[in-house]
Amino acid sequence: MARQILISFEDPWYVAIDLATDIASQGKTINEARENLREALELYFEDNEIPDNPSEYYLGVLEVM
């Protein structure tokens, strides 16, 4: 099953989040963050219904002050 995720860098960690469930995990590398999120999602889906991925996203930069 494919999931839509977002990975950001929050020094010193990479943080990966599943956009449909808001489940997040972290790692020292992008790959480690992805694998840790995969494990967290597998555990979550053992006891919970699998939600659909959101169908539409907007990604942008907002400058404030």
Ordered per-residue pLDDT tens for the chain, 65 residues: 888 899 999 999 999 999 889 999 999 999 999 999 999 999 999 999 887 776 677 777 778 88
Confidence at residue 53, expressed as pLDDT on a 0 to 100 scale: 72
Confidence at residue 55, expressed as pLDDT on a 0 to 100 scale: 67
Contacts of 15 (CB under 8 A, 6+ apart): 7, 8, 9, 24, 25, 26, 33
Confidence at residue 25, expressed as pLDDT on a 0 to 100 scale: 98
> Is the bond into 12 cis (omega within 30 degrees of 0)?
yes
- Binning the chain into helix, strand and coil, the percentages to the nearest 5 are 30, 25, 50
* Maximum pairwise Cα distance, the chain: 45
Q: What torsion do the CA atoms of 41, 44, 48, 50 make, to the nearest 10 degrees?
A: 0
